[in-house]
Structure 1
Amino acid sequence: MKKKIGIVGWLLFAYMFVSAGCQKEANETVIPTTPEKDYFVSAEQLAVIPQNVLQTLATSQGYSKFVPQIKYDVAIYKMVYTTTYKNQEIKASGLLAIPQNMTAPAAILSTQHGTSFLDSDAPTNFPNTFSGFELFASTGFVTLIPDYIGYGISKDIFHPYYDQKHSGLMIVDMIKAAKSYAKKQAIKLNDKLFLVGYSEGGYVTMAAQKEIEMHPEHGLTVTAAAEGAGGYDLTGMLSAVTTTQSYGNPSYLAFVLQSYNTTYNWNRPLTDFFQEPYADRIPELFNGTNGAGKINNSLAKNPQELFNPNFYANLKNPAGEQALKQALVDNSFLNWVPKSPTRLYHGTADQSVFFQTSQSVYDKFKAAGATNVELIPIPGGTHSSSLEPMVLSVIPWIQSLNAPVN
């Protein structure tokens, strides 16, 4: 759910300048840390967007079906918070979107976006980048839109792509930071917490859900989670990729290997993984200035042509590439059972992240006794076409769970 906003962006720029000019207080709030761990660092207001502008924006960006749900003006903030990378504290960033003039306390909704290759696609580059998740705030949720580690303020770090621990903690820490900010700014919250994500965001959402449910010391409870088209079974994905003659998104394969090589300090030469000329191209392709299209067009679609022959053979050999295969096992979700109400959405014709990855984890969850998990196939849905039907289904679901109990 991410689009460049083009001409409509000028509407947002206009409101940014108008709202900034009308405020007497500084737009950036920096709250000193206290002896108790506080993950919040700062919040800079970027815009206050009226309801009618959001409706126009939604229509222009192809989200016209969401227009009836848009009920509130929304204040957009760039929030900086602390999290952990390789056991070291770092600063990370994301958008915080707050509905205006609500009379009832709001729930928190953390929304996780799909795979990004461009630094400029980070949500905090708003309004130049419009993720689409900003619209959730206009339906009455305090909405978080994380950049992820490796983007925004932390763009000098190579993104830990499909690493479960970093993926979960960076979301949990942003939620804690947002709750801290809301408390100090007297923003009323209820006790509901929703998690929603698609593609890599589906994976990151599941990682955050697992982190919260496995570690009650975080002091958080997931009300419900909706995860779409994420690579939850990485071992199954590996098997599928190594048996196909053509995979349309070799960028994903290279991204995972680059991520693990960096995150786990393997520091292996790229020629261990890739044939030339691809090994030589990859550092520049993944420097944050190239989009998915260029990267995919610069790499071989046939995994047997992309990968080093020895590496490719070892992927198929049960005794080969043990460190990588163990990392894929560790970063899959096959030995955990969700407790919170959970929906898995996936297009049945998805050729980027195969439907089987959702079917696989769903079957594992049910076999292990999960009672609150649904698999919702989107018939004929591709990776790009399945997000909209997912969101149209998710909104009324989480609204029903957010309704006050009489």
Structure 2
Amino acid sequence: MVSAEKLYTLESAQAVAAELGRAGFDDGIVRHGVVAYRLVYRTVDPHGRPTTASGLFVLPLSSERRLQAVSFAHGTGSHKDDSPSMSRGEFVSAPAVAHASAGAAGVAPDYLGMGKGPGPHPWMDVTSESTASLDMLRAARAFAPRTGHVLERTVQVTGFSQGASAALALGRALQAGEDRWFRLGALAPVSGAYDFGGTELPALLAGRLEPKSGVVYAAYTLVTFNRLHHLYDSPGEVFRAPYDRTVEALFDGAHTGEQLMRGTPGTLDDLLTAHGRELLAHPTGPLVAALRTTDAVCRNWIPRTPTRLYMATGDEQAVTANTAECHKALLKSGVDVPIVDLGPVDYHGSRHLGSNVAATTAIVRWFGQVRAQ
């Protein structure tokens, strides 16, 4: 723990229901008011060096002293404020609030470089997402007694989109005993790009993603992976003019999603050079090694706790073949994990975003059933 700041209190279940409703989430799962804190804590960067990160910690206003934590890993954002502890009553913070309002302790890491964390965000770096998530749990456990609560050993883990891979990585770390206190209790990732190199990037290049989403994800991949793994010497090798002079700056954590949309073209052909497309289509060298780690979240392990994979029919951003590949990999290891198809859910015209809204309600209820067993 470095610091803790009370952000807001929603005194009643009615106040929480109104807050979730404004964010577009179901208010039928609310049982308690909540209090929300921003925690800043020590962790490590992708190279193992000391750094700090932040996250949202939400507690129910109930008489229960001992609480089970639910860790929620959020989806992709570009601005530092696109993170749970920086957004109230919005898409990225609503799931943690929803779980707390149902009686759990909601723990939502912002990730490295997001929220109050220094430096750029290492997007889709599953290793640092896992360490940031685990260290956020440790910070929450250290802070909880100041609020009159104690966090139990068992943790239920969920996450959406980018956070689905982070959730699987955290679940694996907890099951492997990487923390001396916390243990995995249930696992429910939602709409992840679990097979990022083998399924998601080919779908992106084939035009099976919503076009603008494909452009943004291609740019984000090349820029952020280059920071960690040195894929190119000059942006002009992978990005066409004029974007070779501007795209990298869009992912500095200070540009909004709207600025990112305005600053990128409408098609991959306008964004990528022939070499840039080839690098994504047939990765070599450092990118191969990086994708091997990113794509391993479902491979060569068996969750020993209740696990479900959630997805939405016709997801336009994380193609559902990712979920099928994750299921296949887990089945190969020896466990037949149920896939929960949420149907053609919608949030502001997006089935991908809609899956987070629909899954939050379903997972709050399912986690409640698991806790009651």
Q: Same fold (TM over 0.5)?
A: yes
In 2: Cα distance, 1:267 partner to 1:241 partner: 20
**Which amino acid letter does the alignment assign opposite residue 96 of structure 1?**
F
Distance 1:334 1:101 in 2: 36
Matched, 1:344 2:313: no
In the TM superposition, what is the alpha-carbon distance from 1:179 to its structure 2 partner? 1.3
Instruction: Verify the 8 A CA contact 1:120 1:129 in the aligned structure 2.
Output: no
Task: Give deviations 1:229-283, integer Å, cap 9, x for gaps.
Answer: 1111012212222233873311122112211111235563222221222221213
- Aligned-residue sequence identity (percent) comes to 22
Match of 2:162 in 1: 200
What per-residue deviation string (whole Å, max 9, x for no partner) do you get for residues 368-406 of structure 1?
2124x2211233342122222212211111001111x5x
2:174 to 209, 212, 215: 212
Per the alignment, residue 22 of structure 2 pairs with 60
Whether the aligned pair in 2 keeps the contact of 1:83 and 1:90 (CA below 8 Å) is yes
* Letter of the structure 1 residue corresponding to residue 71 of structure 2: S
Match of 1:242 in 2: 205
- Report how far residue 215 of structure 1 moved: 4.4
Give, in whole Å, the separation in 2 of the partners of 1:201 and 1:359: 17
Q: Highest relative contact order (Cα 8 Å, sep 6+), 1 or 2?
A: 2
TM-score w.r.t. length of structure 2: 0.88
Q: Does 1:71 align with 2:31?
A: yes
Q: Give the equivalent residue in structure 1 for 2:50.
A: 89
Deviation at residue 111 of structure 1 after TM alignment: 1.2
Confirm or deny that 1:308 pairs with 2:273.
yes
4+ residue runs over 6 A deviation: none
Matched residue type, 2:299: N
Question: Closer, same or farther in 2 for the Cα pair 1:163/1:60, shift >3 Å?
Answer: closer
Checking the alignment, whether the CA contact within 8 Å between 2:4 and 2:38 is kept in structure 1 is yes
Paired residues for 1:219-368 under 5 Å? 219-235=181-197, 236-244=199-207, 247-249=211-213, 250-265=215-230, 268-317=233-282, 321-332=284-295, 333-339=297-303, 340-368=305-333
Any unmatched runs of 5+ in structure 1?
1-39
Q: Is the 8 A contact 1:76 1:96 kept in 2?
A: yes
What amino acid maps onto 2:82 in structure 1? D
Q: TM-score, normalised by structure 1?
A: 0.81
Tell me how far apart the structure 2 counterparts of residues 398 and 334 of structure 1 sit (CA, whole Å): 21
CA distance, structure 2, for counterparts of residue 366 and residue 309 of structure 1: 38
> Match of 1:70, SS?
coil
Give yes or no for the alignment of 1:112 onto 2:73.
yes
The residue aligned with 2:356 is 387
The more displaced of 356-365 and 240-249 is 240-249
Q: Name the CA distance, whole Å, in 1 between partners of 2:149 and 2:15.
A: 23
1:376 correspondence with 2:340: yes
* Structure 2 residue matching 1:232: 3-state secondary structure: coil
Partner Cα separation in structure 2 for residue 265 and residue 113 of structure 1: 26
Structure 2 contact 154–182 (Cα < 8 Å) conserved: no
Aligned 1:6-155 pairs, distance under 5 A: 40-51=1-12, 52-63=14-25, 65-66=26-27, 68-85=28-45, 86-103=47-64, 105-127=66-88, 131-133=93-95, 134-154=97-117
Match of 2:348 in 1: none
Distance 2:60 2:219 in 1: 39
Measure how far apart 1:57 and its partner are: 1.9
Alignment deviations for residues 150-175 of structure 1 (CA, whole Å, 9 cap, x no partner): 11221x31111111110111001111
For the Cα contact (< 8 Å) 1:241–1:303, is it kept in 2?
A: no
Q: Which residue type is aligned with residue 248 of structure 1?
A: K
1:338-362 deviation digits (Å, cap 9, x = unpaired)? 4132211111211111111111111
CA RMSD of aligned residues (A): 2.3
Shift in CA distance, 315/259, structure 1 to aligned 2, threshold 3 Å: closer
Q: State the 1:149 CA deviation.
A: 0.7
Residue by residue over 1:120-150, the C-alpha shift from the partner in whole angstroms, topping out at 9 and shown as x without a partner, is 3332224485621223211111111221111
Cα distance in 2 for partners of 1:290, 1:209 equals 32
CA distance in 1, matches of 2:139, 2:101: 21
- Unmatched segments (≥5 aa) in structure 2: 346-350
Q: How far apart are residue 194 of structure 1 and its match?
A: 0.8
Distance 1:174 1:383, change over 3 A: same
CA distance in structure 1 between the partners assigned to 2:264 and 2:255 by the alignment = 13
Instruction: Indicate if the aligned counterparts of 1:77 and 1:97 stay in contact, CA closer than 8 A.
Output: yes
Distance 1:275 1:367, change over 3 A: same
Which of 186-195 and 263-272 deviates more? Answer: 263-272
Q: Which moved more, 1:72-81 or 1:95-104?
A: 95-104
Aligned residues: 359
Could you tell me which amino acid in structure 1 is paired with residue 275 of structure 2?
N
